[in-house]
Amino acid sequence: MNQYSSEAGERFRKRLIVTAKGRRGAKDMNRQEAKEALDFLFSAEAHPAQVGAFLTAMRFKAATVEEMMGFLDAMEGAATLISPKVEGVLNCNGPYDGRKKALNLSVAAAIVTAAAGVPVVLHSNTGLPPKDGVTNARVLEALGIAAAREPELVEQDIEHKAFGHLHASRYLHGVERLRPIRQVLFYRSFLHACEVMLNPAGAKRSLIGAAHESFIERFALAAGQRGQERVVVVQGLDGGDELPLAPTPVADYQAGTLTRYTLAPTDFGLKEAQHHRCESPAETARRTEAALAGTDDAHLDAILFNSAVRIHVAGKVPTVEAGLALAREILSSGKAMAKLRELRG
């Protein structure tokens, strides 16, 4: 044992030993133990080898709901959170490492949702492995919208413009301290999963994505049981919060109850369709602006469907059908394009 280790360091040493025993032999942590483990890794005392070992051990063990809740507690405890003074904020999020397969229309849907009177907070990152893909931050920057503002300014954006984006480099301090290690591991860890479930603006309702159907219930429970009224988790495109124009598995945590169902575009008068491939941030921004301006309807149904779900999950309307009608009005009236211009200002 290292004689210079602190009490926290010694507790982590013991925790790492019982965690690094594989899926069958490893011992699960309770919420507080998980928080303490990640708190230690965020500290200056943690050695890079300990960080890498724990991330790898958890990759084999797989995180329980209790553990994810504890990790989220630690991540938000080492972050600069915001509390916008507006009602009905909707938290939307997908993987912080972005997309490689499907066109990002989440930003377009978020802008339509904001134009419909629902305050929206997005959060993401840039240049994170393993995908290092097209993130919300990169799309926003390509649209001419600042994506890496300080948290207090994002709070004001949500209050005054009903839209804000938090960049991990500006608010997620503990996790960002581990970035150099994550850059050389080249695989997904529980940090990637927990970033999706973060709620940095204290929203009461969230729409988030998961890459695999087996994750959606755990994500809904872990995020919902930390104090939210409703958390809807979809098996979204590239693991994001964007539904494809196809039947999509959903886990819906609401008022302490978890339900499972499928959302399909055909249930709301929309046709199923293949999603467009991923494009560069610049091309994604061009397509987004054309859709919001009404000069290109190639992605209209996808944006309508995703906007409708967001508007409904936020509680603005009682049904997805009503959300679809409102989203159509927002787009056809020019309010969505007007919101884009406002966000650029």
Class of residue 321 by CB neighbours under 10 A (exposed 0-12, middle 13-18, buried 19+): middle
Domain membership flag for residue 74 = no
Same domain, 235 and 315: yes
Domain membership flag for residue 233 = yes
Q: Left, alpha or beta for 259 (phi > 0: left; psi -120 to 50: alpha)?
A: beta
Spell out the residues 6+ positions from residue 168 whose beta carbon is closer than 8 angstroms to its own.
96, 123, 124, 125, 128, 175, 176, 195
Same domain, 114 and 180: yes
Spell out the residues 6+ positions from residue 64 whose beta carbon is closer than 8 angstroms to its own.
28, 29, 218
Q: What is the mean pLDDT of the segment spanning 219-238?
A: 98
What three-state secondary structure class fits 75?
helix
Over pLDDT 70: what percentage of the chain?
Answer: 99
Residue 100 CA to residue 280 CA, distance in Å, equals 9
Worst-scoring range by mean pLDDT, 22-26, 203-207, 287-291? Answer: 22-26
Residue 140 CA to residue 152 CA, distance in Å, equals 18
Same domain, 169 and 261: yes
Mean pLDDT (the chain) is 97
What residue has token string 């972005």?
Answer: 98
Residue 289 above 80 pLDDT?
Answer: yes
Tell me the β-bridge partners of 91. Answer: 121, 206
- Predicted local distance difference test score (pLDDT) of residue 23: 83
Class of residue 44 by CB neighbours under 10 A (exposed 0-12, middle 13-18, buried 19+): exposed
Same domain, 16 and 145: no
Domain membership flag for residue 156 = yes
- Predicted local distance difference test score (pLDDT) of residue 3: 53
Domain membership flag for residue 73 = no
Domain membership flag for residue 84 = no
Model-level pTM? 0.97
Domain of residue 44 covers 7-62
Same domain, 130 and 45: no
Tokens of 32: 């507080």
Q: What is the mean pLDDT of the segment spanning 135-142?
A: 98
Q: Provide the pLDDT confidence category of residue 22 given band limits of 50, 70 and 90.
A: confident
Q: What is the mean pLDDT of the segment spanning 138-147?
A: 98
Q: Which of 43, 62, 81 is the last residue of a domain?
A: 62
Tokens of 169: 């480099």
What residue has token string 């109850």?
Answer: 257
Same domain, 186 and 281: yes
Same domain, 165 and 278: yes
CATH number at residue 200: 3.40.1030.10
